[in-house]
Amino acid sequence: MPPIQDHPLRYHLANELHARPFPAMQSPSTVIYLAVKQPKEAVHRDRTLDLAHLRALLDRHGAAHPQPGSTHHSAQLGRYTLKWEQHTEFVSYTLYGDGVSERAFDPADFDIFPSDWLTEAPGQRVTSLMMRILPRPDPDDIRAKLQDWFVPESLAVAEVLDDSAVVAGDFRIDPAGHMRVAGVAHATTGSQRIGRGGPRLCEIETYRAMSMLGFSRARGLAPTIGALDTYLSEMMAEMTSDTVPAEQTLTQLLQVSAQLEAMAAQSAFRFGATGAYEALVNQRISLLRETRHGGFQMFSEFMLRRYEPAMRTVKSTEKRIATLADRARRGGELLRTRVDVERSAQNQALLASMDRRADLALRLQHTVEGLSVVAISYYAVSLAAYLMYPLADVMGISKGMMTAMITLPVVGLVWLAVQRVRKKLH
C-alpha cells in the first residue's frame, strides 16, 4: 500500500510555528531595540531594501547573511545576539546580550547600530528602546533606582509573570532619543522566562507607537470632518426650504458624499491597522499577568488613562466619517426623489400643454379643411361651368343659371372626396 501523500506546504507551515523562538536571557542583561518604517506605502514597500540594509549591518560584523526572501534572521554581532524580523509595515532589530553598562541606559550602548548605517535605513524610526535587566534588589533599592531612571509622573511599575520579575517604564523619550524599560528578576527566574518577557515589552512599545499613527491621522482629519459636518447640516436645512434649487443642492451634496467616500477609503487601512495594533498591545499586557507593586500604577492602568482615549478618538473618527457618509447618501436620495417629483410635475404640465396645442391644431385643421372644400369647390364649379356652357345654349338657359344648377352637386362631390381622403389618412 503506497504511503499517504503530504500537502506540499505541510512541513513549511509546521516549521513556521517554531521559526521565531524566544531568546534565552540572563540577569543582568541589556536589550537594544529599533523599529523602522517607511513613511508612505509601507505595506507595498520594496522588501529587498530591508534585506539589503540588514546585510550591510551583518557585513560589518562578519555575520552570515539570511536566505533570499527571509522574513526573520538571527546572528551574533559581537557580544550581542541579533534578532531581525520583517513585519507588514515595519522592520525590527532586537539586540540582547549578557551584562549591563556601568551607566544606566548609556547611549553608547546604541552605537552597536553605526550612525552612517542608521542614516541609510530604508525608512524612518518608529521607536527605539533600551532595556536594562538586573537581579532583584531589596524593595527600597528598587524604588530609588526607578525614581532616578524614570519620570515619576508617568512611571508604570508592575510585578509580572507570577511575581517572577518587576518591570517599569515611563513611555517617554529620553535625551538620547530612546524609550527606557527596566526589569528586575528574582534569582530563581529562569532564562527562558526572562527571554519571553523582554520581547513582549518591546512589542508593547512598538505596537503602541504604530497604533498612535492612526490617532495622528484622526486628529489631522478632525478639522475637515467638522467643516463637512457643518456644511452638510446647512445643505440639509436648505432642503427644507425652497431658497436654493434642488438640482444645485443635489450637486453640492454629491460632491460632499464623494469627498467623504474618498476620505473613508484613504483612512480605512490606517484605522483598521490601528485597531489591530491596539488589540496586540492589550493582549501583550494581559500576558504579563500584572500585579501591583509598591503603590505604583500598572501598565494596564497607564494605558487606560493615557492610551485608551487616543484609541477611542480613532474609533470615533472612523464612525463619524461613516455616519456623515450615510447622512450625505440619505440626503442625496431624498433630493433625487424631490427632483424626480418636480420633473414629473413639469412633464405632466408639458403634456397638458401639448394636449391643448394638439386640440387647437385639430380645430385649426378642421377649419382649414372647411376652407379647402370651399376653395376646391370654387375651382371645380368654374371648371364644370366651362364644360357645361355649350349645353346651356342648347337648353336655352343662361350661363349664370347653369352655374347655379351645378354648384351644389359639385360642392357635395368635393366634400365627399375630402372626407374619403381624410379617412384613408387616419
Most confident among 26-35, 130-139, 413-422 (mean pLDDT): 26-35
360 band by pLDDT with thresholds 50, 70 and 90: confident
- As a whole number of angstroms, the distance between CA 372 and CA 210 comes to 92
Residue 372 has pLDDT above 90, yes or no: no
| Helical (H) or strand (E) element with 295 | none
Q: Assign 373 a pLDDT band (cuts: 50, 70, 90).
A: low
Could you report the per-residue pLDDT of 265-313, keeping only the tens digit for each? 999 999 999 999 999 999 999 999 999 998 899 999 999 999 999 999 9
3-state secondary structure of 398: coil
How far is the C-alpha of 229 from the C-alpha of 324, rounded, in Å? Answer: 7
Share of residues in the chain with pLDDT > 90 (%) = 52
Q: Stretch 356-368: mean pLDDT, rounded?
A: 75
In order, the DSSP letters of 101-112 are -SSTT-GGGGGG
* Mean of pLDDT values over 378-386: 72
Q: What are the φ/ψ torsions at residue 182 (nearest 5 degrees)?
A: -120, 145
The pLDDT assigned to 399 comes to 66
Asked if residues 126 and 210 have their Cβ atoms less than 8 Å apart, the reply is yes
* Beta strands, E only, 266-321: none
The DSSP symbol for 1 reads: -
| Helix or strand run (H / E) with residue 77 | strand 72-77
**Does position 48 have pLDDT exceeding 80, yes or no?**
yes
Beta strands in 174-318 (DSSP E): 179-185
Average pLDDT over residues 190-196: 88
| Confidence (pLDDT) at 122 | 94
Query: How confident is the model at residue 426, as a pLDDT?
Result: 60
Taking each helix axis from N to C end, the angle separating 191-239 and 308-395, rounded to the nearest 10 degrees, works out to: 30
Question: Residue 135 region, left (φ>0) first, then alpha (ψ -120 to 50), else beta?
Answer: beta
Rounded to whole angstroms, how far apart are CA atoms 243 and 253? 16
Residue 381 to residue 410: CA distance in whole angstroms: 6
At 1, the pLDDT band (50, 70, 90 cuts) reads low
Matching residue, cell 510585578? 159
Is the pLDDT at 410 greater than 90, yes or no?
no
Question: Is the pTM here over 0.95, yes or no?
Answer: no
The string of DSSP letters for 327-364 reads HHHHHHHHHHHHHHHHHHHHHHHHHHHHHHHHHHHHHH
**Phi first, then psi: what are they for 82, rounded to 5°?**
-95, 135
Q: In this structure, what C-alpha cell is assigned to residue 244?
A: 436654493
